[in-house]
Structure 1
Amino acid sequence: MTKIITLYNHKGGVSKTTTTYHLAYALAEGHNLKVLVVDADPQCNLTELCLSKTIDLLDLQEEAGTATVLPGTSVKEALWPRLEGERANVDVGSIELIKFDENLQLYVFRGDIGLSEAEDRLSYAYSQRLTSDMHQKRTYVAVHDMLRRLGALHSFDIILVDVGPSAAALTRSFFLSCDRFLVPVAPDRFNYQAMGSLSQILKKWVQEHLQVIPDFQKLALNVPTQSPIFQGLVMQRFQRHNGAPKAGFQLWINKIRTRAAQELVPSLIEVSGSDGVAKHCLTEPICAEIHDFASLAPMMLSNSKPVWQLTKEDTLWQGQVWDQRSAAMQEFKKRFFDLAELAVG
C-alpha cells in the first residue's frame, strides 16, 4: 500500500521544498522505491526544481515565438472537474505524471499557480462536511481519494506532498490525507513562535476531522480514517563551526526542541492518542539536522541534481575546494538517506 508523507510548516522559508526533493531522491536511490512528489503549493517551487531543464527549454522556445506548454497534468487540472461537480471523483486514469530522472523511479505531479483557486471550494466543503450535501462531502474527500487511487494505480511506494506555508483549506486537505508528516523548521525566533500556533492548528484539524469519519464511512466515501503520524522536526538552515551548529543557532535549536516536546507532541497525543506520534519523538522531537547548503545550493539548482550527485564537471571546482565540497556532499547524502530510512520505517 502506498505511504503518503507530507512535509508541512505554516512558517515559510524553512527549505521545505528542497527537503522534499532530496528526500525523494534518497528514497528512490537508497531504497529502490517508486516515488511520486506532489506539488500542492501554488508557488510551484517543487515543479520548478524537478523540471528545471524542461522549463529552461520552454523559456527558450517562448523567446523564439513558439507556443509552450508544460508536459503532464497539473494538480489543479486533475481536481477541477470534481470541485466543479462534473464528476463524482477525480479521473486518476487520465492524470499524466512526469518522470524527472531517467535512472530512478521518480515522478512529479506538477503544480499550478491556479491551484489557489481551489481554496474557496475546499473551504466551503469543509464548512459543510457535517451536512447532508453529498457534493460537498465528495469535495471534502477529493484530495485523499485522488492520492490513494493514484498511488494504487501506479504502484507507488511513497507519495511525498509539498504543501504551501499556510493554514488554509488547500493545505489542510492535503495534510489530512497523509499517513505521516515531517515538520521542516529553521532555528530562529520566528520558527520558535510558530511552533506554538502549529500545535493548535494541527490539533484543531485532526479533532474536527475525526468527528466526520463515521458518517463518511456509512456513505462509503473514501475518507482518511487515521490521524497523520508525527515523524519529527527536520532542523534546517543553520550554519556550523567545527561540525556543530554555531552558538546562536544552537540556542534556538534547543528552544524549538523544548517547545515541540512541551506543546506540539502533547497536543497531538491529546487528540490522536499515542499512535499519533512516532515513538522516537517522545524522547527527541528532532529527527534530522540538515545544515545550510551554502555554495552547494546554486549548483544543485542550476544542474537539477541532489547535492550528492554533483560532479566536477557540473561545478568546475578543483583541488582542495572540490575535496571540501565533495566531503560535504557525502555528508548531506548520509543525512538524507538516514531521513529516508526513518520515513520508510
Structure 2
Amino acid sequence: MISMALFNIKGRVGKTTLTYHLAHMLQRLGHRVLAVDLDPQANLTSLFLDEDSLAALWAEPESPAWGGTDTSGANALTIPLASRIQQDTGTVATSVKPIMEELGDVAFFEPSQVTDGLWLVPGDLELSAFEDRLSAAWPSTFTGDPAAIRTTTAFYRIINDAARKVSADIVLIDVGPNLGAINRAALLAADTVLVPLAADLFSLRELRALGPALRGWRSTWQETVLPKVPSAVPAPSGAMKPIGYVIMQPLPRLDRPVRGYRRWLERIPQVFTESMLAEPRDPDGRSYELATMRNYQSLMPLARDARKPMFDLKAADGALGSTQSYVQKCRAEFRLLAESVLQRLNEVQRRGDHSDGREVP
C-alpha cells in the first residue's frame, strides 16, 4: 500500500474534484482505492455521499427514519447505504473523539464502500476542533511524550487500519488549503504528495512556501520525533515525497489574457524544483508536470446531480449532443493522469523510499 496526499496552500484550485475523479479512475484501472477526507470542510465526503447518507453519518437529529418500505427511486439507493453508515461507519472526527475527550486512544471504524474496489474514510466538519489538540501536542512529541505521539499519529493509524481492512493498494488523502496542525499530521501520514496548481501569481507564491514547510516537518519528525516514538505505537516515516504537480486550467477571463497565463505557467517548473525538491535544477532531468487538466465546470453540476464522475455521464444524465464529446475528453485526460500517477508511485515503491517508519502488526 502507498499513500498520496493532494495538497496545496492555495484553495479553489480543484483539489477535491481532482481527488474524487482520480480515485474513481484508479479504481477503473483495477486498483483497490481508499479515499480519506482530512479536510474539515468535508467536501470530498459530500461528493461521494448523498445528503441522506451524510445526515445519517453525521447523526443529525432531523435525519429521516431509515428502514422504511419505500424501495423506489433514489430511496432504493440511499436507504441501504444510510443503514450501513449508522451501524459500523464513523468519520475521522468520531475516530479521534476519545482523544479529544481524554477518554482513550483513536477508535477504528469500517470505511464506507462507494463501489466495488473503492472506499471512503469520511470527513466531518467537527474535525476542526482537533486542530488545537494537535497543535498543543506537537512540542511534546519532541520529548517522546506517549500521549502527544498518539495524538500526532492518529491520522496515520486511522488510515493504516482502514487500508488493511479493505486491502487497499492506493490511499488518496484530501486535505485543506493551509499549513495548520491538522494538515501537518495529515501530510506526515502520507508517503507521497501531489500538488494541484493554477498558473497564476498566487499559486507560485504559495508553492514557494509549501516546499520549505514540508521539509521542516519532515526533518523534525524523522530526526527528533521518530527515534523517540514508543515501540508499541505505529508511526509514519514522514516521507512526504513530492511526485509532481498537476496544472488546473482556469475558466477563460476577458481580464486575463493568454499571455499572462503563459507567463506564470512557464515559471512553475523552476519554482517547483527549487521549492519542493530543494534543487537549483531538476535533478532527474525530467518534467514533474504530470498533466494539464482543462476546466470541466460545465460538466460538474451534471455529475453532482447524477452522483457520478464527470467522465461517466450519459445522455440520460443530461450530457447531450456535443457534451458527450466533452465527457470523452474528460475520461481520456483523467485516464492519462491516473497512469502518470501510477508510474510515479511505482517508482517510489521500487526505490523503497516510502513507509520506512515503524509499523506494529
TM-score bucket (shorter structure) = 0.7 to 0.9
Partner of 1:273: none
Aligned length: 319
Correspondence 1:74 to 2:85: no
2:152 maps to a residue whose letter is Y
Question: How many Å separate the matches in 1 of 2:337 and 2:307?
Answer: 17
CA deviation after TM superposition for structure 1 residue 154, in Å: 2.6
SS in 1 for 2:110: coil
The answer to whether the Cα contact below 8 Å between 1:34 and 1:105 also exists between their aligned partners in 2 is yes
The answer to whether the Cα contact below 8 Å between 1:76 and 1:112 also exists between their aligned partners in 2 is yes
- Matching of residues 1-345 of structure 1 within 5 Å: 2-30=1-29, 32-52=30-50, 54-55=52-53, 66=64, 71=86, 72-87=89-104, 89-92=105-108, 95-101=109-115, 104-210=116-222, 211-216=224-229, 219-238=231-250, 246-266=258-278, 283-318=286-321, 321-342=322-343, 344-345=345-346
CA gap 1:326/1:200 in 2 versus in 1, 3 angstroms: closer
The structure in which a higher percent of residues are helix is 1
Please give the root-mean-square deviation of Cα atoms over the aligned residues, in Å: 2.9
User: What whole-Å deviation, never above 9, does each CA across 1:118-177 have from its counterpart, x for those lacking one?
Assistant: 001111111211235321122122221222232223311111110111111111101001
Question: How many Å separate the matches in 2 of 1:96 and 1:66?
Answer: 22
Question: How many Å separate the matches in 2 of 1:53 and 1:84?
Answer: 28
Q: Which moved more, 1:321-330 or 1:297-306?
A: 321-330
1:86 maps to a residue whose letter is L
SS in 1 for 2:19: helix
2:113 maps to a residue whose letter is K
The answer to whether the Cα contact below 8 Å between 1:182 and 1:233 also exists between their aligned partners in 2 is yes
Question: How many Å separate the matches in 2 of 1:65 and 1:6?
Answer: 32
Question: How many Å separate the matches in 2 of 1:133 and 1:225?
Answer: 18
CA gap 1:268/1:54 in 2 versus in 1, 3 angstroms: farther
CA gap 1:190/1:28 in 2 versus in 1, 3 angstroms: same
1:4 maps to a residue whose letter is S
CA gap 1:239/1:254 in 2 versus in 1, 3 angstroms: farther
CA gap 1:162/1:226 in 2 versus in 1, 3 angstroms: closer
The answer to whether the Cα contact below 8 Å between 1:231 and 1:343 also exists between their aligned partners in 2 is yes
User: What whole-Å deviation, never above 9, does each CA across 1:263-293 have from its counterpart, x for those lacking one?
Assistant: 3211799xxxxxxx9x76x532222211111
**Structure 2-normalised TM-score?**
0.80
Question: How many Å separate the matches in 1 of 2:303 and 2:12?
Answer: 18
Gaps of 5+ in 2: 67-81, 347-361
**Structure 1-normalised TM-score?**
0.83
Question: How many Å separate the matches in 1 of 2:55 and 2:227?
Answer: 50
